Homo-oligomer: A and B are copies of this chain.
Amino acid sequence: MEIPSVVIDRLPLYARVLDNLEQEGQTVVSSQELGIRLNVTPAQIRKDLSYFGRFGKQGRGYNVSRLLEELRRILGLDHQWRMALVGVGRLGRAILGYEGFMPQGFKLVAAFDSDEATIGQELGEIRIDDVANLETVLEEQPVDIGIVAVTAEEAQSVIDALVGCGIRSILNYAPIAAHVPRDVQLRRIDPVLALQSMTYYLKHRQKSPSLTG
Contacts and interface: CB of A to CB of B under 8 A. Distances in A.
Given A11-B200, A185-B211, A98 B94 contact: yes
Interface residues of A, number: 82
Contact of A198 (B100, B185, B204): B185
Given A81-B202, A182-B207, A203-B75, A213 B195 contact: no
B12 A192 contact: yes
Given A98-B90, A168-B205, A179-B39, A187 B211 contact: yes
Interface in A186-213: 186-189, 191-213
Most B-side CB within 10 Å, residue of A15, A82, A201: A201
B202 A194 contact: no
A70 to B, nearest CB: 13
Interface in A151-204: 152, 159, 168-172, 175-180, 182-189, 191-204
B213 A172 contact: yes
Contacts of A209: 5
Contacts of A191: 95, 101, 171, 189
A210 B145 CA distance: 12
B76 A9 contact: no
6 contacts: A5-B209, A80-B212, A145-B198, A168-B202, A168-B205, A185-B202
